[in-house]
Structure 1
């Protein structure tokens, strides 16, 4: 019972951390380079994840690493939201390729969540479709 409570607490803490990062990105859209740098720094400090390295991992290795670090499908979906936000602000100070990598990795996580989830989610399907449109655009 204690192990389950600890695991639930870890999942909740991770979700709160990711939510703070997403909120920080939304608030600092007028300073995207600083926001991206701050998010990257916090990911490295809190999760020992280097954002630039994550983007260039093979999709399978990317998912495996995030499964280990994020623990739950809900947190993986939140991380996909974070990647989408990073992609939305990336063009200001980063390349088009970097933006596309953020969107692609977000799709990879959402596709994984869709396959692993016990329930169908229209919201998840809409997010995947929206990201695919962003990739084409």
Structure 2
């Protein structure tokens, strides 16, 4: 029982870290200097998520879920937030005119959302809307 409580606390902490990273990213979108924002986002990924943005960028979309689940111990609940984080990161790359990187990040976010739609036992309207939006941007 004690081990289960420990795991639940770890899962809750990871959720809080993801929420903090996403909040930090959303605040960065208001910073006019996009290069400064990208440097800060690299720091958020490294410090808050314990995964480097460079690793996310070089990982093929087909492997992104396994990397996140093995390296960071993400669960489906966290993958949704990570997909949103990738999508928001893509917007910052768009601002800095790095459209190729932005497109790659959106493809990875889309891949995660589609994975969640396929593996989840319930239908999420929110995820379906995000999938549609990402497909339009690609």
Aligned equivalents of 1:81, 1:102: Cα separation in 2: 10
**RMSD over aligned Cα, in angstroms?**
1.7
Taking structure 1 as the reference length, the TM-score comes to: 0.87
> 5+ residue gaps in structure 1?
none
Contact 1:59–1:105 (8 Å) recurs in 2:
yes
Taking structure 2 as the reference length, the TM-score comes to: 0.86
> 5+ residue gaps in structure 2?
none
Aligned equivalents of 2:73, 2:36: Cα separation in 1: 24
Aligned equivalents of 2:19, 2:99: Cα separation in 1: 25
Instruction: Say how many residue pairs are matched.
Output: 135
Q: List 4+ stretches of structure 1 deviating above 4 A.
A: none
Displacement, 1:115?
1.8
> Deviations for 1:99-118, whole angstroms, at most 9, x for unmatched residues?
10111110111111112212
Contact 2:110–2:134 (8 Å) recurs in 1:
yes
Aligned equivalents of 2:116, 2:3: Cα separation in 1: 24
Displacement, 1:70?
4.0
Aligned equivalents of 2:126, 2:29: Cα separation in 1: 24
